[in-house]
Amino acid sequence: MPELKLLSSHLLFDGSQKRYRHRSESLNCEMNFSIFSPPGISHNKKVPAIYWLSGLTCTDENFTLKAGAQRAAAELGVALVIPDTSPRGNGVASAPDAAYDLGLGAGFYVNATQAPWSHHYRMYDYVVDELPALIEQHFPVNDRRSICGHSMGGHGALVIALRNPQRYQSVSAFSPIANPTTSPWGKKAFGHYLGDDVKNWRGYDASLLIEASRASEHLPMMVDQGDADEFLIEQLKIKRLIAACKTVNYPAQITLRAGYDHSYFFISTFIEDHLRFHAKALGPDVNL
């Protein structure tokens, strides 16, 4: 069994918030992740897990410290699993100009194919396969999973669920980069990680994946987007996601929230709605 090193541990809402370090095979480096375990779980009483993917510049700690998700997760009886947003450490490629939207803190949840990124930047494999396998081996967590995220992480959650509907019960996003093949953040990252041929970008674009999806694979999907989000028009493109859902009758619950911006204040306001949405899909062993 791969080893885990405990970095910190706190009791809250009678559950526990822990941070671990481990060696990742897919990313070829040491990685940190955080996990919230609700009260009363044991290997005889495993719980489902909601995976949270954060946005640009984040680590596992932004959501852990700022979203205020633990109270509802404790009540519902679900675990929260929070990975970092990119590979880290000595020898991991970073943006040449220290840009915040490429390299460290900006893995975009893809498997990079281009040098120098391809040696470490395989966040797609890490989140889809390696991390759940590790979590389900080490913790009283079963294989009923949901996935959600914010911004770059909202893009990651949508793409990962759309490509692997059999592995998740539901998906949700806050302010996702919904059509990255046409947004400056997406074009920059995909150009570096996946190369110039835009054909190879399409499998990482939620709007395009929705348009190619089959009704039998439609998971419960919920998206919240603030209309005062500074990145809404240029980068996030929620209208493109709404249009894609209409085209194939994808039954997504997409809500524009008047006055909310891109920050964790927005996430903390609506995270309980998202956790309850996932808990319904993850039941019957959650406390609704």
Ligand X SMILES: N[C@@H](CCC(=O)N[C@@H](CS)C(=O)NCC(=O)O)C(=O)O
Total residue length of the chain: 288
Nearest to 173 by CA among 248, 234, 109, 77: 109
Nearer to ligand X, 38 or 156 (CB): 156
For 48, other C-beta atoms within 10 Å of its C-beta total 22
Query: Which entry of 84, 229, 274, 278 is annotated as an active-site residue?
Result: 229
Q: Would you tell me which residues interact with ligand X (CB under 6 A)?
A: 55-58, 62, 66, 100, 150-152, 262-264
CA-to-CA distance for 46 and 36, rounded, in angstroms?
13
Residue of minimal Cβ distance to ligand X: 55
- Residue 150 · residue 54 · CB < 8 Å: yes
The distance of closest approach from Cβ of residue 185 to ligand X in the complex, given in angstroms and rounded to an integer, is: 8
Query: Which entry of 151, 175, 183, 213 is annotated as an active-site residue?
Result: 151
Query: Which entry of 150, 262, 274, 278 is annotated as an active-site residue?
Result: 262
Nearer to ligand X, 189 or 279 (CB): 189
Q: What is the three-class DSSP state of 233? A: helix
Nearer to ligand X, 75 or 229 (CB): 229
Which residue, chain included where needed, has tokens 């396998």? 133
User: What's the burial of 95, exposed, middle or buried (CB within 10 Å: 0-12/13-18/19+)?
Assistant: middle
CA-to-CA distance for 83 and 244, rounded, in angstroms?
29
The two tokens of residue 77 are 């009886």
The full DSSP string for 67-129 is S--HHHHHHHT-EEEEE-SS--STT----TT--TTSBTTB-TT-B--STTGGGT-BHHHIIII
The two tokens of residue 191 are 């150009």
The distance of closest approach from Cβ of residue 267 to ligand X in the complex, given in angstroms and rounded to an integer, is: 8
Nearer to ligand X, 144 or 262 (CB): 262
The distance of closest approach from Cβ of residue 57 to ligand X in the complex, given in angstroms and rounded to an integer, is: 5
Nearer to ligand X, 27 or 56 (CB): 56
The distance of closest approach from Cβ of residue 288 to ligand X in the complex, given in angstroms and rounded to an integer, is: 29
The distance of closest approach from Cβ of residue 85 to ligand X in the complex, given in angstroms and rounded to an integer, is: 9
The Cα-based distances of 22 to 80, 104, 279 in angstroms read 18, 18, 28
Told to judge if 216 belongs to the known catalytic residues of this protein, a careful annotator would answer: no
The distance of closest approach from Cβ of residue 235 to ligand X in the complex, given in angstroms and rounded to an integer, is: 9
Told to judge if 101 belongs to the known catalytic residues of this protein, a careful annotator would answer: no
Told to judge if 119 belongs to the known catalytic residues of this protein, a careful annotator would answer: no
- Count CA atoms within 13 Å of residue 155 on its CB side: 31
- Catalytically active residues are 151, 229, 262
